[in-house]
Amino acid sequence: MSFWRPVACLMLVFAVLLHAPAAVAQPLILDTFDDLSYTTSVALAGEAVSLYSSSEHSEGASSLLVDYDYLPGGVYTKDARITRTFPAPVDLSGLASLAFDMSVVTPHAQMTLIFVLIDSAGNETRIVLSNALASAATLKTWLFSNSALEKSRWASGGRAFNLREVSKIAFRLQNNADFTAAGSVMFRLDNLRVVNQSNLQQAIWSEDFASYADTAAVAAAWQPATAGVTAELDTASGAALRVRADVSARWTNYLVARTLAAPVDVTAMTHLGVRVKGDTRLAALAPLAKVFLEDTSGNRIIAMVPTWAGIDRWSDLYLPLQRDGIESFTAASTLSMGGASCWRQDTYDAGGWSVDADLTRISRVLVGVETQATGAYPVAGATLLFDDIRFATPAAVDTPAALSAALESASAGALMSLGFGSGVFGNGTFLNQAPNMMQDVAGLMSTTPTRPPPRPRSPPCCKTPGRQTPTSPSTAAPSRLHQATTFRWARMRCSNTIPPPRRRRR
């Protein structure tokens, strides 16, 4: 099977994910781009972002045409923003995938497009598209798994993100090279949608607390790691871990810990997901909900979650580990990214600031709370709830059984069988036409893939004696003596060594 077949297969499977109502949840439309209700901003005086409605669209009545006029400037001096604020926060806690349609009218190869989700506390998570505006293009769909969301070391809002309360979306433009002349970038946006389906998400390890019979069972598994704290089972809203602490002073951890049955390798883990419900009595004390991952040597990474530990409602937190995910120390009190990270190495663990945790051997998970501000202490019996802790990997998408065979025989632009019955998905076919999810598959199917050059044939010295190509000009079969001699000298030439002289027989 060629390289492009699996790529086309993956794209088609995601098309099914966002279009097949019986197979998965219906897509949630976040923005139709049918109006101009956005705020815009630029970093430099004299630049401008203009917005227009365009009749070229893939959904609804129109698309949004964005025209950014920029001036000369150094790298990363451009920061044009288009932001929409929702009337009320949107719950994306089951986010499995996200997509939007875009066409490029006036391209620029050194302009980066960044899609941003912003929660009600101002925290951000983003998807960076470094080449999306590099060339002119008709409406195409850009599709992302939840694992594509990342934090940024350049944004203090890049810490833990609450998917349960998404209040804004934004598209941002930044230059990734020096601009020596003024110019413009123009593109269209349409049909921003997500699939919310938590059962598509996969996890290396997870804990939903549903298997515990009572508080005694929870307390046996989640044991105090510090003084003044206990673990209990909360059943008020399903099943959750209740961490109860007598908070007596700031800058003090109150933690419970679970030791895993065997060490877990989390190097492929894209993010940690966890639900947290806070205690309003802690709100004035700058509380931090905390999650630690500890290796078999006692070294740890730590995620510190502000805001939500003091709010008495559930948050669904997304804590990315990849890209700028885990911040190290360059000195005892100096963080390599200035503290604008979601995770950091723990300077108070067994190895201190200079020893990083071994992510291939995570053996304990610790959760709890710490307060940062002065105020009225103690706070007796403060409670935080934790639920659905998961070491997450990209969302799972299963390929229909007949899909590979359909791709092998499909023609560009033709109806393509998806392997579904008519009762599951229309008539069991999907038309490959713009600007739907499968627009680019036609190009993939009709493009001859670049193949690697053939492997060089082994020289005679690398073959078995007696099977090498004879070097004698004679067309007759060489003698066994000639074959052996040819092989010996070929081997000598390949090894670039001179054989030792033979001793003369006396």
Contacts by 26-29, CB closer than 8 A, 24 or more apart: 27/99, 27/193, 27/194, 27/195, 28/90, 28/92, 28/193, 28/194, 28/195, 28/196, 29/59, 29/191, 29/192, 29/193
497 C-beta neighbours (distance < 10 Å), count: 9
Residues 142, 260, single domain; the answer is no
User: How big is the CA angle at 319 (ends 201 and 381), to the nearest 5 degrees?
Assistant: 105
Query: How many Cα atoms occupy the beta-carbon half-sphere of 245 within 13 Å?
Result: 32
Please tell me the predicted confidence (pLDDT) of residue 269. Answer: 86
Alpha helices in 120-264 (DSSP H): 215-221
Domain containing 123 equals 25-196
CA angle 409, 415, 418 (to 5 degrees): 70
Task: Write the DSSP symbol of residue 157.
Answer: G
Report pLDDT for 416. Answer: 53
Q: Are residues 274 and 330 in the same domain?
A: yes
Same domain? For 247 and 347 the reply is yes
Whether residues 56 and 169 share a domain: the answer is yes
Say if residue 190 is in the same domain as residue 211.
no
Dihedral angle sign, alpha carbons of residues 346, 350, 356, 358: negative
Clarify whether residues 215 and 192 are in a common domain: no
| Domain-ending residue, one of 134, 167, 196 | 196
What's the pLDDT score for residue 16? Answer: 43
Q: What is the 8-class DSSP label of residue 243?
A: E
CB-CB neighbours of 180 under 10 Å: 9
Residue 460 lies in a domain: no
- Residue identified by tokens 């060489």 is 478
Helical spans, DSSP H, in 167-242: 215-221
Residue 429 lies in a domain: no
Same domain, 188 and 272: no
Phi and psi for 487 in degrees, rounded to 5?
-65, -40
Give the pLDDT of residue 425.
Answer: 37
| Residue 19 resides in a domain | no
Do 175 and 76 form a contact (C-beta atoms < 8 A)? yes
Q: What pLDDT score does 496 carry?
A: 40
| pLDDT score recorded for residue 167 | 97
Residue 130's domain is classified under what CATH number? 2.60.120.260
Domains: count for the chain: 2
- Asked whether residue 57 is domain-assigned, the answer is yes
- For residue 58, count other CB atoms closer than 10 A to its CB: 20
Say what the alpha-carbon torsion angle 327, 328, 329, 335 is, to the nearest 10 degrees: -20
Residues 280 and 373 in one domain: yes
Instruction: Verify that 360 and 252 share a domain, yes or no.
Output: yes
Do 190 and 208 share a structural domain?
Answer: no
Q: Let me know if residue 362 belongs to a domain.
A: yes
Tell me, yes or no, whether 495 lies in a domain.
no
Residues 173 and 249 both lie in one domain:
no
Please give the pLDDT value at position 342: 82
Q: Is residue 423 part of a domain?
A: no
pLDDT at 471: 37
Q: Answer with the one of 374, 393, 412 that is the final residue of a domain.
A: 393
Q: Is the pTM of this model over 0.85?
A: no
Asked if residue 13 is part of any domain, the answer here is no
Q: With contact defined as beta carbons under 8 Å apart, do 46 and 153 qualify?
A: no
- What is the bridge-based pairing of β-strands 379-393 and 202-207? antiparallel
Q: Which of 147, 165, 196 is the last residue of a domain?
A: 196
**Judgement on whether residues 173 and 260 belong to the same structural domain of the protein:** no
Per-10-residue mean pLDDT of the chain, 506 residues long, equals 45 43 65 96 96 93 96 94 97 89 96 95 90 93 86 69 95 96 97 77 83 96 97 93 96 97 90 94 95 97 90 92 80 79 89 93 97 95 95 60 52 52 39 34 34 42 38 39 36 41 48
